[in-house]
């Protein structure tokens, strides 16, 4: 989880570097626990639940409110525009 110990500015800087590497044809695999970063920066998201794949697809699909409820037991909604989404946990 390479972004965990970085401040926000350095997280964004590293994400820009990784996006550039992907644009140049490199494969990039990133493990994140920050769902908003995954939603806003990933091309594809794989969600694990007890070691099994619970979702695999585009961020909007793999991190849907229904999936968040099923895997984490929370009532949560995404707000904002694509690329600038924020997660609001209601309960």
pTM, two decimals, is: 0.85
Identify whether residues 3 and 22 lie together within a single domain: yes
Q: What is the pLDDT of residue 26?
A: 96
Identify whether residues 21 and 47 lie together within a single domain: no
Identify whether residues 70 and 80 lie together within a single domain: yes
**How far apart, in whole angstroms, are the C-alpha atoms of residue 23 and residue 20?**
5
For the chain, the domain total comes to 2
Going by C-beta distance under 8 Å and a sequence separation of 6 or more, which residues neighbour residue 44? 56, 57, 58, 59, 62
Q: What is the pLDDT of residue 91?
A: 86
Q: What is the pLDDT of residues 64-73, one digit of tens each?
A: 999 999 999 9
Q: What is the pLDDT of residues 2-56, one digit of tens each?
A: 899 999 999 999 999 999 999 999 999 999 999 999 999 999 999 999 999 999 9
What is the CA angle 40-43-81, rounded to 5? 30
**How far apart, in whole angstroms, are the C-alpha atoms of residue 2 and residue 31?**
8
Confidence of residue 1 (pLDDT cuts 50, 70, 90): confident
Identify whether residues 49 and 5 lie together within a single domain: no
Identify whether residues 44 and 8 lie together within a single domain: no
Identify whether residues 23 and 66 lie together within a single domain: no
């Amino acid at each position: 989880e390479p972004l965990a110990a970085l401040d926000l500015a350095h997280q964004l800087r590293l994400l820009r570097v990784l996006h550039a590497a992907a644009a140049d044809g490199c494969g990039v695999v990133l493990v994140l626990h920050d769902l908003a970063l995954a939603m806003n920066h990933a091309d594809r998201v794989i969600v694990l639940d007890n070691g099994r794949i619970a979702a695999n697809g585009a961020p909007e699909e793999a991190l849907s409110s229904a999936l968040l409820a099923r895997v984490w037991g929370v009532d949560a909604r995404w707000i904002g525009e694509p690329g600038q989404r924020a997660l609001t946990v209601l309960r």
